[in-house]
Amino acid sequence: MSTRNFALCASRFANYANLEKPGYFMLWPVRRPKTLSLNCLSGRIGSPTHFAKHYRTIPAVLDRMSSNEDVKTPIALRIRWLALILLLLSCKTGSAASSQEVEFLPEVDAYLKLKPDIRVGFQAKDTREGGDSTQAAIGPSMDFYLKPLIRLKTITAFDLDDAKSRPLVLTAGYSYLSSPNSPSTNRILIAVTSHLPIKAQLLLSDRNRADLDWSNGDFTWRYRNMLSLQRTFAIHSYHLIPYASAEFYYESQYSKWSTTELYAGTHLPLGKHFDLDPYYEHQNNTGKKKNGQVNALGLTLDIYLSKKAK
């Protein structure tokens, strides 16, 4: 086999050898040889094929390759083909990823404690629930507590939401939901939330909620069950409360369990009355013919106030 000699140099990207036919080269997987002769780097080796046979891999540096046009032309041509293939692959990946929607969901919740066992709340937020389009929701609610448990109070000592220290919380509320692409919805919500202290200072919350919706003269309902785990961690004198939640929806319009929502976030107390809650949410909706997924970043500001005793 007759070959054209050209200088071989080290490269971390690819290995090249000029074979019998000008303009044809082979590309091996990158593998740095354990030892590299100085003769190879200086170009004093007898032939490239001899070096390839001896080392099995031939590292080559693109910027120090020979200026021979027979070598440059095929390399440049193949680089263009490789760039085109990568571009096509990236376009295909982008179109597949675009089927998943990304949202940002801001929210403000304010609570006023009227009595030791009663508080009222007011909520304003952007929401994306149960496969619906993004909606603006606003409305009041009222919570009724049972007496707190000592162990729950210990686990939730640094949590501004004192409802978590109660073993059972009953909630009733109303929300008005508006969307530019669909009729508005009037919703009555009823929820029962239990809190249970478990091992490793973890708090387990189980919320069972019913949404009764009236929209454009039609009535639908949905049942929602959310399980949450949280634990308080101390960083010097500051306490943050990371959590993870999973919520499952049964919707009457689809007559099946149609939506799963997964959450991960952390409560960041800011003083005695404010709590910031950044979180990530992933939804999987199977109610409609085409399954839909939503990835959302949310930011909730919770405000806790208490009526002064006379």
pLDDT at site 73: 53
Do residue 254 and residue 292 come from a single domain?
Answer: yes
Q: Is residue 9 part of a domain?
A: no
Q: Is residue 8 part of a domain?
A: no
Do residue 50 and residue 134 come from a single domain?
Answer: no
Query: Which of 77, 97, 117 is the endpoint of a domain?
Result: 97
Do residue 109 and residue 254 come from a single domain?
Answer: yes
Distance CA 175, CA 63 (A): 66
Q: Is residue 50 part of a domain?
A: yes
Do residue 290 and residue 173 come from a single domain?
Answer: yes
Q: Which residue has the tokens 């490793």?
A: 200
Do residue 201 and residue 178 come from a single domain?
Answer: yes
User: Helices in 98-213 by DSSP H: which ranges?
Assistant: 150-155
pLDDT at site 85: 52
The CA-atom distances, in angstroms, between 2 and each of 18, 57, 120, 233 are 10, 20, 90, 71
Do residue 168 and residue 287 come from a single domain?
Answer: yes
Question: What is the number of structural domains in the chain?
Answer: 2
Do residue 194 and residue 92 come from a single domain?
Answer: no
52: containing domain? 14-97
Do residue 180 and residue 297 come from a single domain?
Answer: yes
Query: Which of 58, 78, 97 is the endpoint of a domain?
Result: 97
Quote the strand ranges of the chain, DSSP E: 14-15, 59-60, 100-115, 118-127, 135-145, 168-179, 182-197, 203-215, 218-230, 233-235, 238-251, 256-270, 274-285, 292-306
Q: Mark 190-206 as b/e (b = at least 16 C-beta within 10 Å).
A: ebebebebeeeeebebe
Q: Is residue 296 part of a domain?
A: yes
Copy the structure tokens of residue 174. 């109303």
Q: Is residue 7 part of a domain?
A: no
pLDDT at site 180: 85
Q: Could you tell me the CATH number of the domain that includes residue 241?
A: 2.40.128.130
Q: Is residue 157 part of a domain?
A: yes
Do residue 63 and residue 186 come from a single domain?
Answer: no
Do residue 213 and residue 125 come from a single domain?
Answer: yes
Do residue 63 and residue 202 come from a single domain?
Answer: no
Q: Is residue 3 part of a domain?
A: no
Query: Which of 52, 71, 97 is the endpoint of a domain?
Result: 97
pTM over 0.75: no
Do residue 59 and residue 173 come from a single domain?
Answer: no
Q: Is residue 283 part of a domain?
A: yes
Q: Mark 124-159 as b/e (b = at least 16 C-beta within 10 Å).
A: ebebbbbbbebbebebebebebeebbeebeebbeeb
User: By CB neighbour count within 10 A (0-12 exposed, 13-18 middle, 19+ buried), where does 213 fall?
Assistant: buried
Provide block-wise average pLDDT over 10 residues at a time, the chain (310 residues).
Answer: 44 43 46 46 46 44 44 56 52 43 93 96 91 88 94 94 96 95 93 96 97 95 98 96 98 94 97 97 87 92 86
Which residues, including other chains, have CB under 8 Å from residue 163's CB and lie 6 or more apart?
Answer: 119, 143, 145, 169, 193
